[in-house]
Amino acid sequence: MAQPKTTTAKTQPKEKNAVVEHRDDVYVLVIGFEVNNPVYRETPIEFGVTRKVHYVLEDPGHTFMYLTKNLKVTFFFSLGPHIGASTAERMMGKGTPEYKIPGLTRLYRLIITGSQYEKMLAKGKEYRNDVLAGKRYYNIFKNFTCARSARDIIAAGWPGVPAGASPIGTPIPTREDYVNPYAFYEAIRNKFPNGEVVLPENRGKWQELMSSSNDYPGTESDPSLYPASWPMKKTADE
């Protein structure tokens, strides 16, 4: 577990041998996934070619991300259709950067540099503000979705982040690859096979964390640090 690092130094000459304490900041990226159904399957694409396909109509899955500084959440981004969206708007329409997270979640906690943190934070705030202002719509046709937008934010500070893309089955598989939660999850899991933190479902707790972290950055602790203390609470309408 990364903790703010304390170092000491001696000042001279005025206060010779006086000890000065310095705490190094610790920055962390957390990538979260709701990928709890067997909808990412090997499928024949063309003669002699088989690939994994995300059957999005069976379960779209979900990807979100947040940043922490010194173990406190400073930014949270979870893109999805706006509350009360119609079927058409769930494909293309006004979105929200605080979309619900009702299911079991799988988190990856990655230590990053201060420079990476600042780049991701800037990109994340840009996307958040654009979504709130209606400048960017949730749009499956242009692949501005939960997984793609989260990956864009991450790539601002980590250009080598895995592509996390595959064909989409609707139900016929596409020829093109699209960033999606299941492909992105598999890519991150393969890169960090021992890094997964699992939290049980608790929609209300996530909603509180999203709102507090964006309205009052640095006040909420990172839940991936203490998974055993995260309570399960089922939501009746999920």
* DSSP structure string for 14-39: TTTTEEEEEEE--EEEEEEEE--SS-
**For position 155, what pLDDT does the model report?**
98
Measured from the Cβ of residue 167, the count of other Cβ atoms closer than 10 Å reads: 21
Token pair for 132: 């709130």
99: containing domain: 5-38+62-159+196-229
| pLDDT at residue 227 greater than cutoff 70 | yes
User: What is the mean predicted confidence (pLDDT) over 102-108?
Assistant: 97
Q: Is residue 83 part of a domain?
A: yes
Determine the angle formed by the axes of helices 114-133 and 146-155, rounding to 10 degrees: 140
pLDDT mean over 212-218: 93
SS3 of residue 149 by DSSP: helix
Write out the H or E segment, with its range, that includes residue 92: strand 92-93
Q: In this structure, is residue 113 part of a structural domain? A: yes
Structure tokens at 31: 């990538």
Is residue 106, in this structure, part of any structural domain at all? yes
Give me the mean pLDDT over the 209-223 stretch. Answer: 94
Are the C-beta atoms of 166 and 173 separated by less than 8 Å?
A: no
Q: Into how many domains does the chain fold?
A: 1
3-state secondary structure of 167: coil
Output the CA torsion sign for 144, 146, 147, 151. Answer: positive
pLDDT of 126 reads 97
- pLDDT tens-digit series, residues 125-181: 999 999 999 999 998 888 899 999 999 999 999 999 999 999 999 888 888 999 999
pLDDT digits (tens, 9 = 90+) for 21-58: 557 899 999 999 999 998 999 998 888 788 999 998 89
Distances (CA, A) of 208 to 102, 112, 233: 12, 25, 13
Residue 183 has pLDDT above 60, yes or no: yes
Contact 230, 202 (CB under 8 A): yes
Looking at the predicted structure, is the pLDDT value of residue 4 above 80?
Answer: no
- Describe the chain by its helix, strand, coil percentages, rounded to 5: 25, 35, 40
Distance between CA atoms of residues 36 and 49, nearest Å? 26
Report the run of H or E that residue 187 belongs to, with start and end. Answer: helix 181-191
- Residue 233 per-residue DSSP state: B
pLDDT at residue 88 in the model = 86
- Judge whether 164 lies within some domain: no
Q: How confident is the model at residue 30, as a pLDDT?
A: 98
Residue 6 predicted with pLDDT over 70: no
The C-alpha atoms of residue 101 and residue 78 are separated, in whole angstroms, by 8
Whether 22 is covered by a domain: the verdict is yes
Instruction: Supply 176's token pair.
Output: 């093109």
Residue 211 covered by a domain: yes
CA distances from 162 to 31, 148, 158, 223 (A): 12, 12, 10, 24
The per-residue pLDDT for range 65-101, each reduced to its tens digit, is 999 999 999 999 999 998 887 888 888 889 999 999 9
The pLDDT of residue 1: 42
For the stretch 5-11, contacts whose Cβ atoms lie closer than 8 Å and that sit 24 or more positions apart, written own/partner, are none
Q: Residue 177 domain-assigned?
A: no
- The verdict on residue 206 lying in a domain is yes
Instruction: Name the pTM for this structure.
Output: 0.88
**CA separation for the pair 178, 81 (Å, rounded):** 18
